[in-house]
């Protein structure tokens, strides 16, 4: 006797998913370029870029958040002037910002994963949920950023971590803002985390 049921197919990305991925990639670009301050620390500029990365993961979930941030990075590497200070191309990947850039998709993935897993267990996507995932994501970003600072400044990794620490307080403020905004977005659009077939 043959079963008439077939295994569930893996869902692809819908048009809505693709639109959200592109929209949040554009948001990251705006926060990286227009919000860049005319100073930085250890060669790393200060922007609202990470706020947008946190928000992207928290709003879109793991897969779409990861893809959105990756799209932003690929577009910048391909020549669009959307990195901090209007930079473009591959040069930022050989400087002190390289660790941060490469960690951004992972940060969105982590924060989105935590939000999705808790939402699947019936926990609402609140600011506390976003902050929980965001603290883990911030740790990854800081450690990756420390590595690129250490390499470009010819420092030990421990000194690279010390050099990256001045960014952490501002990053935590960005995380708190992203958490509040993401919680409000999920209250207004409770189905946002659910990918449509």
Of the given ranges (14-28, 40-54, 82-96, 155-169), which has the lowest mean pLDDT? 40-54
The answer to whether residue 7 sits within a structural domain is no
Q: Are the C-beta atoms of residues 192 and 185 closer than 8 Å to each other? A: yes
The answer to whether residue 33 sits within a structural domain is yes
pLDDT higher than 70, residue 5: no
The pLDDT tens digits of the residues spanning 38-97 come to 555 566 777 899 999 999 999 999 999 999 999 999 999 999 999 988 899 999 999 998
The answer to whether residue 196 sits within a structural domain is no
Token duo for residue 163: 């050099």
Distances (CA, A) of 81 to 31, 32, 119, 196: 13, 10, 36, 32
* Cα torsion through 86, 87, 93, 99, rounded to 10: -20
The answer to whether residue 5 sits within a structural domain is no
Distances (CA, A) of 16 to 53, 138, 140, 179: 19, 28, 29, 23
The answer to whether residue 8 sits within a structural domain is no
Token duo for residue 39: 């100073």
Place of tokens 């019936």: 122
Number of separate domains in the chain: 1
Q: How confident is the model at residue 33, as a pLDDT? A: 78
pLDDT above 70 covers a percentage of the chain that reads 88
Q: Are the C-beta atoms of residues 91 and 98 closer than 8 Å to each other? A: no
What's the CATH number where 134 sits? 1.10.1760.20
DSSP 6: -
pTM for the structure as a whole: 0.89
The pLDDT tens digits of the residues spanning 58-68 come to 999 999 999 99
Range of the structural domain that residue 121 is part of: 15-188
Helices (H), 39-126: 49-60, 62-77, 98-120
């Amino acid at each position: 006797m043959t079963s008439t049921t077939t295994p569930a197919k893996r869902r692809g990305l819908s048009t809505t998913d693709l639109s959200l991925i592109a929209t949040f990639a554009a948001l990251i670009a705006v926060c990286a370029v227009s919000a860049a301050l005319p100073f930085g620390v250890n060669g790393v500029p200060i922007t609202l870029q990470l706020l947008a990365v946190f928000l992207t993961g928290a709003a879109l979930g793991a897969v779409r958040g990861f893809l959105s941030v990756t799209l932003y990075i690929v577009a910048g590497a391909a020549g669009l002037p959307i990195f901090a200070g209007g930079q473009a191309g591959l040069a930022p990947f050989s400087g002190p910002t390289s660790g941060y850039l490469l960690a951004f998709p992972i940060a969105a993935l982590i924060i989105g994963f935590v939000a999705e897993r808790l939402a699947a267990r019936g926990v609402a996507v609140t600011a506390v949920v976003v902050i929980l995932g965001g603290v883990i994501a911030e740790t990854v970003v800081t450690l990756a950023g420390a590595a690129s600072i250490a390499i470009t400044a010819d420092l030990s990794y421990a000194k690279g971590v010390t050099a990256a620490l001045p960014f952490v307080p501002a990053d935590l403020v960005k995380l708190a803002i992203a958490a509040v905004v993401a919680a409000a977005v999920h209250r207004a659009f409770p189905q946002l985390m659910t990918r449509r077939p």
